[in-house]
Structure 1
């Protein structure tokens, strides 16, 4: 089951995580497909949704990583 969290960001609407598959999903404001990231530790998801800037966290720790 995917846990979805709405976030306060200009670029990201919501972030989802499925603990059984270690997949994270990001729904960006300016695109319709929801992006999927594989092999994401649950701690990364929790750090991401609780960061002061989800956009900055995405660029520093997620972008171009966790490819499916």
Structure 2
């Protein structure tokens, strides 16, 4: 499943498998939640929501309406995220010319 990186509330990535009608959300704590039976219109609305409204849409229309199966984000995603965070942390302390 292809994941779309976002920064909305606790959401960090979202993805959708049309054939399976499965929505996956990845949260900032490394949790991944798979929701079965999610319609394409719900996915469209979540994936096109602005970063200021995506978290609210998720909470109101997905988290409360569908049963999710929790797991952890795969190690590769976590290590990629850690590498990016370290890159930006290293640049935070540098003075600009």
Question: Unpaired segments of 5 or more residues in structure 2?
Answer: 69-97
* Structure whose CA Rg is larger: 2
Aligned equivalents of 1:41, 1:35: Cα separation in 2:
16
Q: What is the aligned-residue RMSD (CA, Å)?
A: 1.4
Structure number having the greater helix percentage: 2
- TM-score (norm: length of structure 1): 0.83
The answer to which structure, 1 or 2, has the higher relative contact order (CA under 8 A, 6+ apart) is 1
Instruction: Tell me by how many angstroms 1:42 deviates.
Output: 1.1
Q: 1:33 to 1:8 in 2, by over 3 A?
A: closer
Aligned length: 66
Question: Unpaired segments of 5 or more residues in structure 1?
Answer: none
Partner in structure 1 of residue 14 of structure 2: 15
- Per-residue CA deviations over 1:17-40 (Å, capped at 9, x if unaligned) read 11110000000012x231010100
- TM-score (norm: length of structure 2): 0.61
* DSSP-derived class of the 2:3 partner: strand
